[in-house]
Structure 1
């Protein structure tokens, strides 16, 4: 252990006097990061992987103006201190793979230059909505955690080209995924998904991994349903949403004066078939998309993509390819 400590100290001193911009302290059985590391004010790349570190050391704050790449994978980190992560605003790469982290703090939004975030094989149970502030992100890897949902704010990261969320407990992907126009690789294998979100087929994906989920299958069956009765609120909302489409209508001109109503109607959607608007009552459907034909991918398989119809009347019209989702 003494030899390892001396070797580590020598590495730090060489970096200090040589004004090195990178330092490799991986596989040194480090439990506590040496305080002298704070003197390496020119350091851009720091490798602390394969050690026994239990938390992001406060000494990193002294490197906040220079450090761009930080590798802390394969340690024993259980927590990410908010004050430390807040101070590393120049990071471009952050690798926290193979630790025991349960939570990323909201202060992660301070990493405005971050492009690669990897927290593979941890114990994350949720992703902070503040991750949506990291609009420079091009790759996120959250594989092998305990995530049951993803925040819709994730879609604000419009530079994303790779999103890995395999082997979690996701039951759905949030709507709005079409905003990720640059997404090339999506890995959702080993979750509990039943359908892909609306507009999924519009993505220009190059690679899609979706094995090991619980997708609905196309098995036509007889159904029994009650007559569809819309509430007064739904009827009124549909009327307002329709009228709001016309700029010359009185509804369109008056709506800005009622911010509460405007906020409520912001959750409205439109029928995939007739394009009429609706608020909170719809027929849950799927459309089976050919990866090869509809998404220009190599695979010839089909996937279920969620679709919302405004009424059973639309569902019962002929000539469309939508299927109502049955519950058994």
Structure 2
């Protein structure tokens, strides 16, 4: 080991590999290599990192996979040049907020195979993060602040205990790969179609009932969704009573419809009434007649055949949620939307 350090130290090297050396602590001689940019310490028994590590101000890549760390050492928050951090296969249960605050230049963070139950809101500090992986942890929720990682291109949350995702996740518009397999998800938040660059989605082994509205607009090349509880297409006749809309819903539909007409008085006056403006922002649109509605709708489903060039497993059609404004629309002929029946 000392020969490896000496070779780098006196040869003016910038990379040091101490993988699988059975060491329990980072050797002190390492801290003398001021130009060190890559430090590999995988497959050892390291349980803590000394404060002296902060002297490696040029360190850009740190490998600590398969060690004995139980938390993210505070000293990591002082490595401002760090771009890649690998901490897979440790015993980490806590991600300290103060560590997140100092890793402004981090691009890759790998925390696979640990015991992490939650991420701190301070994760929003990782503005440049592109790859975040927490495969095989114990996450029960994802903070809304994750949506502020607008540079994120790949997110892996496979094999956790997630029952839901924050709507803010869809602010990560650069996402191309999203892995959510083997969780406890019963639904995906509406708005996933905003991920215009998403090419790979893995939601296999969850409890999904159907996909969100406009899901089929995603430019997916791979979709893995086997092992869910998708609604099945088994048409049956049913008698529907005509819905009775509340006064609020009737007024809301009128306002929303008038707001589409730029010359209308409602459209011109709406900015002067914040409450009505907020109401208009909360409106949705009927999939069939395209008329607006506020809070009263029919939850329906239509079955979409994936694109021919999309890589899938055994699933041939996927159920996608659709909202219709009334039974009148549902009862029209020539569409492929179905009401949902429970048994």
TM-score range with shorter-chain normalisation?
over 0.9
- In 1, are the aligned partners of 2:167 and 2:190 still within 8 Å (CA)? yes
Q: Specify the alignment match of 2:49 in structure 1.
A: 33
TM-superposed deviation, 1:308: 0.7
For residues 278 and 60 of structure 2, what CA distance do their matches in structure 1 show? Answer: 45
Alpha-carbon deviations, 1:273-300, whole Å to 9, x = none? 000000011111111101136xx52558
Identify which of 23, 36, 51 aligns with 2:67.
51
Q: Does the 8 Å CA contact 1:8/1:28 hold for their aligned counterparts?
A: no
2:203 matched to 1:225? no
Q: TM-score, normalised by structure 2?
A: 0.90
Aligned alpha-carbon RMSD (Å): 1.6
1:247 to 1:305, Cα distance in 2 relative to 1, 3 A? same
Q: Is the 8 A contact 2:34 2:57 kept in 1?
A: no
Aligned with 1:212 (options 219, 222, 227) = 227
Contact 1:132 1:155 in 2 (8 A): yes
Unaligned runs of 5+ in 2: 1-20
Q: Deviations over 1:154-198 (max 9, x none)?
A: 111111000001111111111111111111100000111111111
Q: Indicate the residue corresponding to 1:323 in structure 2.
A: 338
Deviation readout 1:240-299 (Å, 9 max, x if unpaired): 000000111111111111112211331211110000000011111111101136xx5255
In 2, the alpha carbon distance for the partners of 1:110 and 1:14 equals: 29
The change in CA–CA distance for 1:29 and 1:7 in structure 2 (over 3 A counts) is: closer
Shift of 1:5: 4.1
* CA deviation profile, 1:86-107 (whole Å, cap 9, x unmatched): 1111100001111111111111
- Does the 8 Å CA contact 2:31/2:55 hold for their aligned counterparts? no
Counterpart of 1:313 in 2: which secondary structure?
Answer: helix
Structure 1: runs of 5+ lacking an equivalent: none
Match of 1:203 in 2: 218
Write the distance in 2 (CA, Å) between the matches of 1:327 and 1:6. 58
Q: Measure the CA separation in 1 of the matches of 2:212 and 2:77.
A: 41
User: Is 1:270 aligned to 2:292, yes or no?
Assistant: no
For residues 181-200 of structure 1, what are the structure 2 equivalents within 5 Å?
181-200=196-215
Q: Which residue of 2 aligns with 1:122?
A: 137
Q: Aligned in 2, Cα 1:7/1:244: closer, same or farther, shift over 3 Å?
A: closer
Contact 1:108/1:130, CA 8 A, preserved across alignment? yes
Q: 1:39 to 1:281 in 2, by over 3 A?
A: same
Normalization by structure 1: what TM-score? 0.94
Classify 1:41/1:218 alpha carbon distance in 2 versus 1 (closer, same or farther; 3 Å): same
